Amino acid sequence: ADKSKVMDYINRLDNFDAPDIADHAIRNGLYEEAFVIYQRHDVHASAINVLIEHIGSIDRAYEYAEKTDTPEVWSRLGKAQLDGMRIKEAIDSYIRANDPSNHVEVVSLASRADKYEDLVRYLQMARKISREPLIESELLFAYAKTDRLVDMEEILNGSPNAAQVQVIGDRCFEEKMYAPAKLLYSSISNWARLSTTLVHLGEYQAAVDGARKANSTKVWKDVHAACIERKEFRLAQVCGLSLVVHPEELEELMRLYISQGYFEELMALLESGLGLERAHMGMFTELAILYARYRPERMMEHLKIFWSRINIPKVISACEEAHLWTELVFLYVHYDEYDNAAITMMKRSPDAWEHSAFKDVIVKVSNLEIYYKALRFYLDEQPMLLNDLLAVLVPRIDHNRVIQMFQKSDNMPLIKNYLVSVQGVNNLAVNTAYHDLLIEEEDYVRLRKSIDTNTNFDNLALAGRLESHELLEFRRIAAHLYKRNKKWRQSMTLSKQDRLYKDAMDTAAESRDTSVAEELLQYFVESGHKECFAACLYICYDLVRPDRVIELAWRHQLTDFAMPYMVQFTREYVEKVDKLNKAHEEREAKETKERSGETPILGPGGLGNSRMITAGPGVGMIPPQQTGMGMIPPQQTGMGGMAMGYGQNAYGY
């Protein structure tokens, strides 16, 4: 068939089935012929469809739409233009067609092509016809993209709209269109998103006000994070104060600051929060840890004020890591870890040791070994304070162990005051050590006082040590010790060697032994110490035997020196006889009186007075006994001025 004749027939013939013929023409590739058929028979939709789908000429389709100017043609043209990504022309076509039916595709492609000005026109047309949520929502977003905030407000403040304001607000926020987002969030009172948006707009006070209205932890977190991101730390602190009071939020908040190196700002935030009514232990603890790491000079003050409100074990670990030894000791003490406190003070003494504080701690430790570690520490580093430390440890330490420790190190003089203070316990080791120290110092006065006061020591060993001492007073102490231990002859021997005759006489008198006293008397006679002979008679008066005294005096021409003794003895003897006579007479008179009351009175020559004393004085009487009485003082006997110096201290005793 000749296809070239088809167009001629179409133009000349009118009476035929146009749709059927046009369909045959299309199937046979006669697109122009099909177009003419549809055009002549006013089937405009099919005509433009041929132009678009078969001929593929959008321009001819546009001209045809202009010519026919029908909605269906414009709609078909708009779809074709849209498919060809002619967004503006497509929107114009849809507007002329007044057709919003394809709004989903139009919005999608226009948004992708950033044709929001044209999209606004299309959506304005569409909104007049349909109030679908998508249309109104996309119109709001298009207004936002084109910065037409007034138009947005008209929609938001006008009659109820179906727009998804929250969704569009979030899209605006994500694309950093904060001003439109502010309008959108404000219209639905979304204080959370509004607050964050206001931060990005620099309206910080408004952002905080919005967060307060939201009264939500999440809102505060969002606003706070936004402030940190923008380095608005003043506002971030305001937000942070509402977060730090929640223990579960504190760790995340701190991580946000620390990860960005904002240590000072974090410490300022926590410091501001300490005064809040809802401040909790975590805040005080974390601030202490921050101080330990970044501001150690503030640490001690913080601990002194808030030690009762922190998690002490956690802060102890931080102090150990930061080598804050003074603060570590403070925490140990307030956590009742006195053992660790004392050990730390000794181990880190340049920083942590302080004498008065150490004394307060050491008395509270539970491990007794720490006492002796403390003594070794003071011996090595603070020897002049040893006695002060020992003074507080006296009730708790083993004196024997302390003595052994310092004897081993040859430092006994350092603890002399301690030895004096504990002598009251009368401990053998203490007394022995103190005596050794006094002997070394040649302090015989204190040694004599010590041995008289405290008796728990080896008396004879000390006496044996002192009897050969080069100083007289120490040999005298040795004699004293022998005397106290009833070693009378050893004591007198020492006294005689040192010509301490008075001491020898006192020893003899104290012995209460006649043989000892007479040995001393014999020594004075043989050595020619006449005055000492007389003095010994006075001191040992009740021990020596009169016959022995008279014998010695007669044989050695010492009668004058023995005369006071003999006078005194005679006086005492006579007094005893007189007392016996008197007692006898009184007893006899009493017996006579009793008999006279019981028997008849007899005449002269009877037996009533047959017991008369006819013998002279002393006959048949009991000889005087050694009663232990002392001699009558010289001033009472008239012998105080004798030439021998009787009773005077003139012979070195």
If pLDDT is split at 50, 70 and 90, which confidence band does 99 have?
A: confident
Confidence of residue 256 (pLDDT cuts 50, 70, 90): very high
Average pLDDT over residues 240-259: 94
pLDDT tens for 539-563 read: 999 899 999 999 999 999 998 999 9
Q: Domain 1-99 carries which CATH code?
A: 1.25.40.10
pLDDT, residue 208, reads 84
Q: What would the mean pLDDT of 270-282 be, rounded to a whole number?
A: 94
For every residue of 537-583, DSSP letters joined together read HHHTTTTS-HHHHHHHHHHTT-HHHHHHHHHHHHHHHHHHHHHHHHH
Confidence of residue 235 (pLDDT cuts 50, 70, 90): confident
Q: What is the pLDDT of residue 320?
A: 96
Q: How many Å apart are CA 620 and CA 608, to the nearest integer?
A: 23
pTM: 0.66
So what's the pLDDT on residue 76?
A: 81
**Where in the chain do CATH 1.25.40.10 domains reside?**
1-99
Nearest one of 363, 314, 318, 327 to 342, comparing CA atoms: 363
Quick one: average pLDDT of 267-277?
A: 94
For 109-156, the pLDDT digits (tens) are: 888 888 889 889 988 898 888 888 898 899 899 999 999 999 888 888
Average pLDDT rounded to a whole number, residues 485-489: 92
pLDDT at 18: 57
pLDDT band at 7 (very low <50, low <70, confident <90, very high): low
**What's the pLDDT at 644?**
36
pLDDT in tens, 501-534: 999 999 999 999 999 999 999 999 999 999 999 9
- Residue 249 and residue 7: Cα distance in Å, rounded? 83
Q: What is the DSSP string of 31-69?
A: HHHHHHHHHHTT-HHHHHHHIIIII--HHHHHHHHHHH-
Question: What is the greatest pairwise CA distance in the chain?
Answer: 225
Token representation of residue 32: 């122009």
Q: Is the confidence at residue 319, as pLDDT, over 50?
A: yes
Q: For the chain, give the percent of residues with pLDDT over 70.
A: 83
Would you tell me how many other CB atoms lie within 10 Å of the CB of residue 203? 17
Integer-rounded Cα Rg, in Å, for the chain is 65
Q: How confident is the model at residue 376 (pLDDT cuts 50, 70, 90)?
A: very high
Position 343 scores a pLDDT of 97
Residue 648 pLDDT > 50? no
Mean pLDDT of 340-363: 95
Phi and psi at 417, nearest 5°, equal -60, -35
> Distance between the two ends of the chain, CA-based, in angstroms?
177
10-50 pLDDT tens trace: 565 465 555 666 665 676 666 666 666 666 656 666 677 77
| 449 pLDDT above the threshold of 90 | yes
- For position 602, what pLDDT does the model report? 46
The predicted pLDDT at position 401 comes to 95
Higher pLDDT, 566 or 648: 566
By the 8 A CB rule, do 550 and 566 touch? yes
pLDDT for the residue 600: 54
Q: Please, what is the Cα angle at 517 between 514 and 522, to 5 degrees?
A: 120
One-letter amino acid for residue 578 of the chain: D
Residue 117 burial class via C-beta count within 10 angstroms: exposed 0-12, middle 13-18, buried 19 and up: middle
Q: pLDDT tens digit string along 588-635?
A: 999 888 888 765 544 444 444 444 333 344 333 334 444 333 343 433
Comparing 223 with 334, the larger pLDDT belongs to 334
Question: Is residue 279's pLDDT more than 80?
Answer: yes
243 neighbors 253 (Cβ within 8 angstroms): yes
299 or 601, greater pLDDT: 299
Residue with structure tokens 């505060």? 220
More confident residue, 643 or 565: 565
pLDDT tens per residue, range 400-416: 999 999 999 999 999 99
Average pLDDT, the chain: 84
Residue 185 in this model has a pLDDT that exceeds 60: yes
Instruction: Provide the 8-state DSSP code for 16.
Output: S
The span from the CA of 343 to the CA of 389, in Å, is 15
Q: Is residue 326's pLDDT more than 90?
A: yes
The single-letter code of the amino acid at 372 is Y
Give per-residue pLDDT as tens, 54-76. 666 677 777 777 778 788 878 88
- Distance of alpha carbon 572 from alpha carbon 28, whole angstroms: 183
Backbone angles phi, psi at 521, to 5 degrees: -65, -40
pLDDT band at 301 (very low <50, low <70, confident <90, very high): very high
pLDDT digits (tens, 9 = 90+) for 200-214: 888 888 888 888 888
Distance CA 536, CA 69 (A): 166
Strand, coil or helix: what is 238?
helix
Q: What is the mean pLDDT of residues 481-494?
A: 92
